[in-house]
Structure formats: structure tokens, C-alpha cells
Chain A
Amino acid sequence: MSTVSKPVPHKFLEARIVSQRYSYSGNSVKSHFFLPYTNATTGRRSSSRREILLIYRGPIGGAAVPERKPLSVVHMASSNVDNKDDRISRISSSIRVIPDFPKPGIMFQDITTLLLDPKAFKDTIDLFVERYKDKNINVVAGVEARGFIFGPPIALAIGAKFVPMRKPKKLPGEVISEEYSLEYGTDKIEMHVGAVQPGERAVVVDDLIATGGTLTAAINLLERVGVEVVECACVIELPELKGRDRLGEKQLFVLVSST
């Protein structure tokens, strides 16, 4: 269930994308950029035809960089944690939404702004640490790359080892891997052989759960080597994508839920 404590004006950054073919060093080059509108419109995303404007800073002069407009901050409801906790409110407000990234139609939940607020970042970690510190967790597994930002501070605070789970071919030495499906095609995550021991208790950490594909793959990897996955922990959940259902019996703990 989502609740919003007070109305927050929503302004979405709209982008015009312009493509141009231009000549550089005798080669014909096509480039694309997105150029924010100088007047952000309220409450709707652009569905009009997009053009791409080239902004190129070259030997002939400087770029005309358009004035930046603030991106939207969508106030999100809390989930799993007491609504009255002001830490949640601050965390939630510090996350920004970037429309149409990485592709049109996707509203990307950007945690980099949370990381720019030392108190919000500390509160995020504290909330996870408070939950796990007395649960005898031996392993915090973090999924590349944003799981690497949240996992280690949690691991350090609760006395657990940090185990990175990576895209293929990044981990040196012997690895085990688990394939999972994407919207189109499949991907794989890998973990070092011997990183964990059978019987250890683990928490899997990522910044966000969407469909739950990546987290499910991470859980499978750990369970295949005899680890008990106690819970998955994410900063953000996108409940419409039903990741929680996909985890099935596995518990999921999130701080904010974005609808």
C-alpha cells in the first residue's frame, strides 16, 4: 500500500533529441544527444517525435550547453518500514527519477542523488544494519555494480564478508555462473568458487528490484553451493513488475516502493 505524506509537485524533464549528420575530419559522422527543453512541462512525458541535437565542443569554438533544469523528484511511499520513520522520507526524496533511460518508456530510479546526501546514505545503511546485525549473517552478497555501493558498508557494520556477484568474465579464477532471462535474451552472473561455505547465512543486496530476475539468479547461485539465503535487501522496489512474487518464498526487504 502506498501513502504519500504531502503532495509534491512533479516536474518531468523532457528531452528533445536531434540527430545530425555532420562532417568531422573528412568523415561523415552521425551523432545524437538529448537536449532538455528549457520549459519543463508538468506531469506528462513527451510522446512527440524526437529530434537529436548535436552539441559538439570542437576546435571551432565552445559548445552551447543549454541551461540545466532540475529533474523530477518523485515522492515514493515506504514499504516494509514504519511510515513515520523520517529517515525513510529523506531517503525517498533523495532518489531522482530520470525519464526514458536507458530507453524510451522507462522511468529510471537514480540513486546517485541519494549518495550525494551523506545523511540519507548513512540512514540507508543504518536501516539495513539495524535489521541484520543480530541475525547471524555471515555473507553479504552484492550484485554488480550498484550492489557494490550498498553491500560493503552493510557487511562491514555487521561483521560479515562481502561477496561480489559479477557480470561474466570480470571475476578472475574459477567461478560458478547462473543464467537468467532478460526482456530480450539472457544474461549471466558469476561468483567465485570458494567465496562462500555451505551452511553460511547470506543476505543479497542490490539498489533496486524490478522483475526479480537478477536477484533470483543470485539466490540460485548461493543456494547451489549450500548457502542459506536469509533475505534479499534493496533500497527500491518497483511493485508493478512483481519481483516480490518472483522471489516466491524468499523474503524481500525494501526501504521505498515506487509506483
Chain B
Amino acid sequence: MARGIGLEAPLSKMANSNAHGEESPYFAGWKAYNENPYDPKENPTGVIQMGLAENQVSFDLLENYLEEHPEAYNWGSGPSSFRENALFQDYHGLQTFRKAMASFMEKIRSGRAKFDPDRIVLTAGATATNELLTFILADPGDALLVPTPYYPGFDRDLRWRTGVSIIPIPCHSSNSFQLTLQSLETAFANAEALNLKVKALLITNPSNPLGISSPRSLLEDILNFINTKKIHLISDEIYSGSVFSSNDFVSVAEIVEDRIHINSKQVHIVYSLSKDLGLPGFRVGALYSYNDKVVKTARRMSSFSRVSSQTQKMLSFMLSDEEFTLKYIKTNRKRLKERHSRIVDELRNSGIDCLKGNAGLFCWVNLGEFLEQKSTEGELKLWKVIVDEVKLNISPGSSCHCSEAGWFRVCFANMSQETLEVALRRLREFAEKIRATKKIS
């Protein structure tokens, strides 16, 4: 019997690849935080986490609701209720839950779009939805167009297991990082010239990391573009509930139904409860597609990424409560807007510029003046100083593939008001210190 001494069974190329992108500073900053996390009492000099786009401003609403409605998480006294739920593994998902999701998505859009619950495919998070859609729309070797700066996780979610590549569409501060038809055309043409098969355009609306929603005219242009080029559109709308004023947000869903010349079978929406409902741990994502084939295929593939039936039942109860959801959406928007205004004001007082945002859990901040050199190296140097000395974990724009150095994403919704104040004070002091140093030198 051979012992195979010294021989290790090899792993796959995928396991050995870096395509998961987790070596990037985006994730490295989290490590720094995990090793020395800020706590107002236990560790007041620790690192404050401003690199995590989580929404903690409205937890109390959820807590109160669950306390007042224990029937949401109980299985009730009926003999079959728990049994049915424990055994439920239908990849269609609970119908009541899909109805509740559809209704929630409609409320977020103030009723300006309708969602058919049978077109919702449930997954264990938007991460899974984005990967699923990529598997469905593109073959290995194909490409997706993605405007930059974009969420660092896309490198992993869209590319790692799927073998699909990302073609970035650079956007610039000169026009507030807005995507333009021109840049779309150019990127598409460049891809063709390189013999890359573009299968879809992925936009995040509202944008992560920019914190801005796409204007209607741009969405119309985009829909016409994908229609003409015969490519798919993936509209990642996971931050749709965090637009500070509901009227500012336009979803592709609102436009697609009206524009009958647009082939809606090419339009797909990604949603999740992680941001808008502040429940990332629940692992609830959804794919909404106007394409029957995509819905059918996604459902089958969702076997790899299903939502716990216990969670479906709990949330279906909560999200079916009209009064609660309307109140939640409104209050959540208001609180996010207040936080956002606070941070923008403070930054302005510190002489720091932000992109004028209208959505999201973060600000896109320009720290260019503090760079020693206007380059990625310079940006990463500054980032290290901010993490190690100022003790703030913010995300450098380079990890979001931003074409201009000096921009950082600063999250403001994943901490208490008090912690935010501490963070803002540290940032102000840092800015003053650097400026003073520059004056002297």
C-alpha cells in the first residue's frame, strides 16, 4: 500500500487563484479593526469601523416589532405549523414571503413600480444573487461591464467561480462620477476590439461607493443602450430603501414596463434585506427578472443558496405588516438623511469635500489634498496612516477601482451617533494636523 509520501492531492485552479480579491485593502482594513476594535468604555482608542456598509440606525424599530409580535418567530400552537416549516425546502420559497418581499419593494419605490411575486427568486443574500445572475447570463471567458468605482466584492462575486471577467467603465469626478452613454459606448467598443464578449452591464443604483442614485435620463439611455447592443442589464438596487428622499430614486422597474420598445427580458434586478432592513445576518436576497427562462433557471440554481424557512416565515410576517413597513421605510430614510447631513457638515467644517450624495450608508470623500503623491501608492500610504494612526477604517478608492487617487468611502450608519462623533473628531484633528504640518514645511 503506497503511502503517497510527500504527495498532496492538488487543489483546483479556482482554489489557488486570487480572483476572490480578498487580498485588497478593503478587506485588510477589516482585519485591523478586528484586532483592535473600538469600544467607548473598554477600548476608547481602538479602531472605529467605517469600512462596513451596514445599517444599524433603525434596529430599535425591528426589536420593538419583534417584542410586540412574538408570533413572528414562534411557530404558533398549530400542530403542523412547525413541521411544515422545518420540512419546507421548495426552491420557489414561501409564497407569503415572496408576496411580502414584492410588496416591500413596491413600497420602497412608493408604488411607482409593480413586482410580481412569481418573478422573485430567493437567495441567501445579494452576494449569491449577483453570482447566480452571472452564471446564468455569461459563460466562462465572457465579460460584464461595470462602472467604476464599484463595490470591491464584485471582483469575487462576479468573477471567482464563474470565470467571467469585469470590464471597468471609468467614471470621473469631473462630472460627479456619473456614468455616461459615451463612456458606455467606448467601453463596449474597446471590449469588442479585444474580442471580449460582453454579456451584461451591471449598475448599482443607488451606487456603492458613491452614494448617489441614477437620474431617470441616464437609466433611459442605459436601457436603450442594452437594447441596441443586445446585452443584459443587471440593476443592483440593494440600497434603494436608503435614498434619503423617496422621490429621488428611479428604479429600472419603473421605466421598463412603460417603454415597450425595450426588451424587458434583458432586465434583471438584484435586491436584498441586508441594507434596507439592516438584517445582513439573516441572509435574504432576491433576484427579480422579467425573463421567464432566467427566473426558471435561477430557481433551480438557488438550491445552492436558499433562505432558511424559519427566517422566511419570520420576515414574511413582519413584511406583510403594512403599517409597520411603511413606518419603517419612512423613519429609516429620515435617520439616514440626518446622519448623512451630520457627517457632510462636519467634514465641510474640517475643510473636507464629499461627493454630493443622496443615498446609501456612506459618503464618498475626497482626501486628495492629504496625499503625498497623487497615485494609488500615495492613496494607500494615506490609508495606512488613517487606519494605524487616526484609527479609522475607511475604504480607499483604489479598492473600488476608482480611476482617481484620493477618494475614500466612509460609512456612517454602522455605529452609534456617539461613535460617529468620535470618528468625526478624529478626522478633523487629523486634517488640522496635516495642514499645520504642510504649512510649517
Question: Do A and B bind?
Answer: no
The interface of chain B, by Cβ under 8 A from chain A, is none
The interface of chain A, by Cβ under 8 A from chain B, is none
